[in-house]
Every structure is written in structure tokens, then in C-alpha cells.
Amino acid sequence: MKVRYKSPKEIGIMRKACMLCSEVLDELLDSVKPGISTADIDVLAREAIAERGLKSAFLGYYDYPAVTCTSLNQVVVHGIPSRSDILEAGDVLSVDFGAFWEGYCGDVARTMIVPGSEPLASSKKLVQTTYESLQHGLAQTLVGQRLGDVGYAIQSLSESEGCSVVRQFTGHGIGRRMHEEPAVRNYGDQNSGKKIKPGLVVAIEPMLTAGFYDVEILEDDWTAVTKDGSLAAHFEDTVAVTTDGPWVLTRANSKPGDIGSIELRV
């Protein structure tokens, strides 16, 4: 399929969709504490979707059974919420959330460390490095750059800090569908890949591990875990390319040309 570039009007609608998704995700992360289950998080997400008049992008997608992905410790992505996954202080938890508003999709993910004890330095470094790699990737979404520059920026920062970049999953175009062209790899070579043009909207989502990058899929056909059992982290933002620079639609403090930032929960 061809890349579908978005008009300024469409980007405006997507900004609203993305901000609603970010609001929901912030509420979910605020609820995280030792003793709750990942299924409890999904229940809260369903309530938030109903309150805002959203439509889940995840529920029913290739028969996925939940409205969030809750990936715990060695789970890289696509962890299915479960009553048996009880959070403990110091756990590394990634929550991924996507929803449609007025026909357009927003997609956002964050990783945090469950509060209640002093986190391990290695866990903090993984989370911080994954976020910083996302920052470096977002900064490359400039008119005239190439998608390989995004992947190169993510990979270079990640590996310089001793982390590995998962190869099996990528970022993606986004709009009227959650997954559109093009694929956005989190690794690659400079000055390679599709040229970045105004109107491109993509979800950039580095997935890093503290060990090797190899993953395997569990019997539920969704949950992706590190083969070596090492910790994993995942951040995702939806970004629109404008002539003024990148506009991170999932961040309230971003504007065209300023990617903004988020507060890490570590």
C-alpha cells in the first residue's frame, strides 16, 4: 500500500485523537501501584474509553481480547492484561493504548517502574535509555530526512548505552487505520529508506532490552518476550511531519518544530 499523507485538517483531528489517548494513558499510569493486576488497568481503560466516546483500536484487532497491552518485565510488547499478573514494587511495566476519535487513530505507549521501593539502577537505565532513544528518533522526523535516519538515531543512542534494539517489531504509519505504511524501523543506516515529506504521520516506538534483542512469541500468539529473560521497555509517540518540523501529537507540550518531553516515572 502507498503512504497516505495527511492534510492540515486531518492532522488537527489526529491531534485531538492523540491527546485523548494520552489523557487516558496518564490516568492508567496514575493508577499503577503494587497489588493491582494488569486486568485492573484494562478495566479502567475501558471506562475511560466509554467516558470520552472513543473506539478502541486494540479490542478485536486480529481477535486481540483487550483495550490495552500491558507488558511486564521481560515482556517486550503485546502483553495481554491478566488477573494473574499482580504488580510488585520495582516491576518494569509498559502500557500501550490506542483509540479512534472521529475516524482517526491515536497510539501511545509508556514504560514505568512500579512505585513502592527504590528501583534497580539497571531498570532505571533501561527505561531512561528507551525514552532518550525515542527523543533522538523523533528529532529526525524532518522534511528531507529519511526514515533510515530515524532508525539510525534510535539504534546509535541505544547501543551506546549498552541496550539492544528489538528487530522483530517496528513503528508504523497511522491515520484512518492504526497500522498504515510506512514501517518505521528502530535501527538502520543514515540516508536510507523513504524520504520524509510534509503530511507524513507515523508512530515511532523503540523497544529495547537490557540483554539480547531476540524475542519469542508465547502460545497466546500475542505476548512477545525476550528469549534471554532480560528486561524490556517500550515507548511510543505519534508524530506529524510539518514544514516547521516534527509535531508530536501525543504530547501536550509539543508544537510544530518542538517535540516536547514527558516526565519519566522511575
pLDDT at 164: 98
- Answer whether residue 116 shows pLDDT above 80: yes
Q: Is residue 260 part of a domain?
A: no
pLDDT at 96: 98
**Residue found under cell 509517540:** 237
Look up residue 218 and give its DSSP letter: -
pLDDT at 38: 98
Look up residue 62 and give its DSSP letter: G
Work out the percent of the chain whose per-residue pLDDT is above 70.
Answer: 100
Q: Is residue 253 part of a domain?
A: no
Structural domain harbouring 16: 8-248
Instruction: Output the nine-digit C-alpha cell for 146.
Output: 529519511
pLDDT at 17: 98
Q: Is residue 101 part of a domain?
A: yes
Q: Is residue 191 part of a domain?
A: yes
- Answer whether residue 123 shows pLDDT above 90: yes
- Answer whether residue 1 shows pLDDT above 90: no
Q: Are strands 232-234 and 215-217 parallel, antiparallel or unpaired?
A: unpaired
Q: Is residue 221 part of a domain?
A: yes
What are the distances in angstroms from CA 106 to CA 45, 178, 228, 248?
Answer: 14, 8, 32, 11
Q: Is 144 left (phi over 0), alpha (psi -120 to 50) or beta?
A: left
Number of domains, the chain: 1
Q: Is residue 255 part of a domain?
A: no
Task: Report the largest interatomic distance among the alpha carbons of the chain, rounded to a whole angstrom.
Answer: 48
- Answer whether residue 102 shows pLDDT above 80: yes
Report helix, strand or coil for 61: helix
75, 69 Cβ separation under 8 angstroms:
no
Q: What is the mean pLDDT of residues 194-214?
A: 98
Residues 6 or more apart in contact with residue 17 via CB below 8 angstroms: 99, 100, 101, 102, 104, 105, 106, 249
Q: What is the mean pLDDT of residues 150-157?
A: 98
Q: What are phi and psi of 30, to 5 degrees?
A: -65, -25
Q: Is residue 141 part of a domain?
A: yes
How many angstroms separate the CA atoms of 233 and 71, rounded?
9
pLDDT at 199: 98
Over the chain, what is the mean pLDDT? 98
pLDDT at 154: 98
pTM above 0.75, yes or no: yes
Q: What is the pLDDT of residues 25-47, one digit of tens each?
A: 999 999 999 999 999 999 999 99
CA–CA–CA angle 203, 68, 171 (5° rounding): 20
186, 172 Cβ separation under 8 angstroms:
no
- Answer whether residue 140 shows pLDDT above 80: yes
Burial of 175 (0-12, 13-18, 19+ CB in 10 A): buried
58, 69 Cβ separation under 8 angstroms:
yes
Q: What is the mean pLDDT of residues 64-87?
A: 98
Q: What is the mean pLDDT of residues 145-157?
A: 98
CATH number assigned to the domain comprising residue 94: 3.90.230.10
Q: CB atoms < 10 A from the CB of 53, how many?
A: 10
Q: What is the pLDDT of residues 209-240, one digit of tens each?
A: 999 999 999 999 999 999 999 999 999 999 99
> In the chain, which residue ranges form alpha helices assigned H by DSSP?
8-30, 38-52, 121-138, 147-160
Q: Is residue 262 part of a domain?
A: no
pLDDT at 190: 96
